[in-house]
């Protein structure tokens, strides 16, 4: 039922409407890239996302942090245009997502889910080729550009040697890597990832995040692990009960007091070279 | 892996070859199936009758033999081909759209609704003889489908709600059919209705063939137009939406198109089971999961399959005829078990 709402028009018109196809220089309202302006999403009378504003700058990696149910996944769906906001607006180069259209949106924004599952017998290459669907018209068969994009995505994700392998025989890490390759085949400028490292061992977590941050694509990534967020993100957005409670660089945001406030746990933060490191403390034994 | 790297042109060529080969096999099957039966008919007789009726030559056949070919065996064999193609096509679309390997064209209660419609006309005499069994079945099928659509929409419209609503409608209409038959029908009517319910191509006429072919052609065009879109459903509806698919609209269009085709076929030939369940799986093993190839090839495979099964149904226990639906099920159940067995690995 999520899709039915995605097709309803936005609640308000965009501040400015550009001519389709052109990319006008940045102005105050029509900033290039993906922007959420005071978006809210209400489900069954409860506010899941409550007035969040986020501007994704070209090429940066933004980490979404927050406990379970803080609204990270819903915010990502709003940014992808899969869900329509109850209030506020999501714009791509200044145009509201419903005006951009589903197919055109999917040519710009790619998403990777937490856990992809299929019953269909697909090879790695066939999964990656799904990313070309928004680029193809009905009836048309794959073009040379499609083949090139799929090859490049496989290469970039280190999966060229596995192209013919069945999806069902892949490990969890390889499956997520394949989903990222599929996202790259969409040739997006914005990439949204929802806890892509869940269920992966530490080696595959680091491999995956190394791959993601090496891409010249603006990325929003929901993460649970604060240390990984500190290591890989340029900027963090911390959510709690649908609100933004902190925003800034990992060094600014990840403080013991914020961690206490958001997650209700004690932690020590050491500011090493590059990025902060977080060490959680055991709860004091009850007297 | 080498075949996966074939260029676009090669893939299209392979599809063309598959379709051309399938069409040739279908034509040969039809021509051969028409010669089989109690009256001795040769392929030359078939050719003579067909060319004569298409206005391409003078018929040299005696009227009786000509009648057997043109009025009895030909429409029946062609209806078998059209039903096989349509059911396999609908099954393939349903399985992908509902992401359920066990979905078939009847999963939305269309066949059960058709049976209720049919017995309402035949047993209860609704319409006073002015309404045919086919018209009653068609009305019942569409009523059932609309009920499923409304019910699933009010339950939230997700895939599993659609399937559950279909199951509910199937149970309801099966019970209604049984109730009507048991309380109102005499033995002969019961037998006739039962025969029809199991799926039978007996008494197929050119009217049925033309109607079913027209609907099949239209629905095939719609489904092929949505072939790429169906590929996007492999990882679910949200993944499809993220690939730019308008999920709700796609689902509505394809459910309506396949329900219309299924209702038309069931009204003409009864509920021939298992073609729509098994043939798409068998074809997928041959073509891979891409719908641009799967849909046309599965339609051809279904057509060829049902031509042969119907030929067996009308000749194996000569002179008695077995409903073709019984034969497809006898073949289909082991295949169904094989599908379950294979999918065991993927959960």
Task: Dump pLDDT digits (tens) for A225-234.
Answer: 999 999 999 9
Tell me, yes or no, whether A287 lies in a domain. Answer: no
The per-residue pLDDT for B7 is: 42
Please compute the mean of the pLDDT values over residues B14-19 and round it to a whole number: 87
Estimate to the nearest angstrom the gap between the alpha carbon of B69 and the chain centroid.
24
Contact call for B234 and A122, based on CB within 8 A: yes
> Which tens digits make up the pLDDT trace of A189-239?
999 999 998 888 899 899 999 999 999 999 999 999 999 999 999 999 999
Q: Which long-range contacts (CB under 8 A, 24 or more apart) does B218-223 make?
A: B219/B86, B219/B89, B219/B90, B219/B257, B219/B258, B219/B260, B219/B261, B220/B85, B220/B89, B220/B295, B220/B296, B220/B299, B222/B253, B222/B254, B222/B257, B223/B89, B223/B93, B223/B254, B223/B257, B223/B258, B223/B295
Residues of chain B neighbouring A121 (CB-CB closer than 8 A): 284, 288-289
The per-residue pLDDT for B185 is: 76
Tell me, yes or no, whether A285 lies in a domain. Answer: no
The per-residue pLDDT for B2 is: 39
Query: What confidence tier does B235 reach under pLDDT thresholds 50, 70, 90?
Result: very high
Tell me, yes or no, whether A185 lies in a domain. Answer: yes
CATH number, span B11-346: 1.10.3470.10
CATH of the domain at A117: 3.40.50.300
Residues of chain A neighbouring B11 (CB-CB closer than 8 A): 141-142
Contact call for B235 and A138, based on CB within 8 A: no
Tell me, yes or no, whether A57 lies in a domain. Answer: yes
Q: How many CA atoms lie within 13 A of B185 on its CB side?
A: 20
What are the domain boundaries of chain B?
11-346
pTM of the entire structure?
Answer: 0.86
* B288 interfaces chain A, CB cutoff of 8 Å: yes
Tell me, yes or no, whether A258 lies in a domain. Answer: yes
Closest chain A residue to the Cα of B286, Cα to Cα:
A121
Contact call for B8 and A107, based on CB within 8 A: no
Q: Which run of H or E residues covers position B74?
A: helix B74-97
Residues of chain B neighbouring A102 (CB-CB closer than 8 A): 241, 244-246
ipTM: 0.83
DSSP string, B123-165: TT-TTTTSS-HHHHHHHHHHHHHHHHHHHHHHTT--HHHHHHH
Please compute the mean of the pLDDT values over residues B18-45 and round it to a whole number: 90
Rounded CA separation A95/A78 (Å): 14
Residues of chain B neighbouring A131 (CB-CB closer than 8 A): 243
Range of the domain at A85: 2-280
Contact call for B242 and A139, based on CB within 8 A: no
> Which tens digits make up the pLDDT trace of B148-198?
999 998 988 778 888 899 999 999 999 999 898 888 878 888 787 777 778
The per-residue pLDDT for B343 is: 61
Tell me, yes or no, whether A68 lies in a domain. Answer: yes
Query: What confidence tier does B212 reach under pLDDT thresholds 50, 70, 90?
Result: very high
Please compute the mean of the pLDDT values over residues A67-88 and round it to a whole number: 94
Query: What confidence tier does B202 reach under pLDDT thresholds 50, 70, 90?
Result: confident
Number of domains chain A is built from: 1
Percent of chain B predicted with pLDDT > 70: 93
Tell me, yes or no, whether A286 lies in a domain. Answer: no
Query: What confidence tier does B51 reach under pLDDT thresholds 50, 70, 90?
Result: confident
- Main-chain phi, psi angles of B25, to 5 degrees: -65, -35
Residues of chain A neighbouring B234 (CB-CB closer than 8 A): 118, 120, 122, 127, 130
Which of A27-31, B102-106, B270-274 shows the lowest per-residue confidence on average (mean pLDDT)? A27-31
pLDDT over threshold 60, residue A9 = no
* A113 interfaces chain B, CB cutoff of 8 Å: yes
* B11 → closest Cβ in A113, A122, A141: A141
Q: How many other C-beta atoms are found inside a 10 Å radius of the C-beta of residue A270?
A: 8
Tell me, yes or no, whether A243 lies in a domain. Answer: yes
Rounded CA separation B19/A233 (Å): 52
Mean pLDDT of chain B: 86
Please compute the mean of the pLDDT values over residues A38-46 and round it to a whole number: 91
Q: Which residues contact B302 (CB under 8 A, 6 or more apart)?
A: B84, B85, B86, B87, B88, B89, B275, B276, B279
Q: How many Cβ pairs closer than 8 A exist between chain A and B?
A: 110
The per-residue pLDDT for A14 is: 41
Please compute the mean of the pLDDT values over residues B20-47 and round it to a whole number: 89
Angstroms from B49 CA to nearest CA on chain A:
38
């Amino acid at each position: 039922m999520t899709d039915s709402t995605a097709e309803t028009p936005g609640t308000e018109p965009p501040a400015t409407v550009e001519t389709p196809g052109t990319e006008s220089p940045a102005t105050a309202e029509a900033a290039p890239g993906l922007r959420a302006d005071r978006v809210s999403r209400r489900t069954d009378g409860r506010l899941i996302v409550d007035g969040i504003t986020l501007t994704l700058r070209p090429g940066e990696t933004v980490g979404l942090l927050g406990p379970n149910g803080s609204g990270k996944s819903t915010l990502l769906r709003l940014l992808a245009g899969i869900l329509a906001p109850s209030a506020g607006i999501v714009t791509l180069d200044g145009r509201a997502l419903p005006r951009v259209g589903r197919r055109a949106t999917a040519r710009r924004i790619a998403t990777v889910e937490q856990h992809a599952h299929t019953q269909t017998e697909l090879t790695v290459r066939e999964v990656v080729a799904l990313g070309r669907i928004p680029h193809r018209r009905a009836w048309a068969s794959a073009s040379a550009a499609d083949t090139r994009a799929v090859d490049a995505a496989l290469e970039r994700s280190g999966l060229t040697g596995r192209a013919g392998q069945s999806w069902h025989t892949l490990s969890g890490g390889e499956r997520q890597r394949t989903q990222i390759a599929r996202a790259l085949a969409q040739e997006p400028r914005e990439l949204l990832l929802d806890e892509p490292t869940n269920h992966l061992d530490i080696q595959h977590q680091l491999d995956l995040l190394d791959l993601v941050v090496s891409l010249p694509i603006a990325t929003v990534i929901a993460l649970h692990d604060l240390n990984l967020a500190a290591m890989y993100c340029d900027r963090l957005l911390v959510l709690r009960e649908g609100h933004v409670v902190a925003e800034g660089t990992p060094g600014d945001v990840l403080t013991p007091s914020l961690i206490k406030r958001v997650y209700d746990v004690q932690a020590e933060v050491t500011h090493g070279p590059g990025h902060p490191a977080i060490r959680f403390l055991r709860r004091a034994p009850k007297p | 892996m080498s075949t996966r790297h074939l260029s676009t042109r090669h893939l299209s060529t392979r599809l063309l070859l598959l379709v051309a080969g399938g069409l040739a096999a279908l034509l040969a099957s039809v021509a051969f199936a028409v010669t089989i039966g109690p009256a001795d008919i040769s392929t030359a007789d078939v050719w003579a009758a067909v060319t004569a009726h298409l206005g391409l030559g003078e018929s040299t056949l005696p009227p009786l033999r000509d009648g057997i070919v043109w009025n009895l065996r030909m429409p029946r064999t062609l209806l078998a081909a059209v039903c096989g193609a349509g059911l396999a096509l609908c099954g393939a679309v349903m399985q992908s759209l509902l992401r359920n390997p066990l979905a078939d064209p009847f999963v939305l209660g269309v066949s059960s609704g058709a049976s209720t419609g049919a017995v309402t006309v035949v047993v209860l005499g609704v319409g006073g003889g002015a309404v045919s069994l086919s018209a009653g079945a068609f009305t019942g099928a569409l009523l059932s489908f609309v009920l499923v659509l409304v019910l699933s929409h009010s339950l939230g419209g997700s895939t599993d709600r659609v399937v559950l609503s279909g199951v509910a409608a199937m149970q309801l209409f099966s019970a209604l059919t049984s109730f009507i038959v048991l309380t109102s029908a005499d033995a002969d009517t019961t037998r006739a209705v039962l025969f029809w319910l199991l799926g039978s191509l007996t008494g197929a006429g050119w009217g049925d063939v033309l109607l079913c072919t027209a609907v099949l052609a239209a629905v095939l065009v719609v489904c092929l137009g949505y072939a790429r879109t169906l590929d996007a459903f492999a990882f679910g509806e949200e993944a499809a939406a993220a690939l730019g698919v308008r999920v709700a609209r796609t689902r509505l269009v394809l459910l309506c198109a396949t329900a219309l085709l299924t209702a038309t076929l069931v009204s003409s030939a009864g509920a021939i089971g298992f073609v729509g369940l098994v043939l798409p799986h068998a074809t997928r093993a041959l073509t891979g999961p891409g719908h641009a190839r799967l849909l046309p090839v599965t339609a051809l495979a279904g057509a060829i399959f049902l031509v042969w099964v119907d030929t067996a149904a009308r000749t194996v226990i000569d002179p008695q005829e077995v409903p073709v639906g019984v034969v497809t099920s006898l073949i289909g159940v082991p295949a169904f078990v094989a599908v379950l067995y294979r999918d065991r690995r993927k959960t």
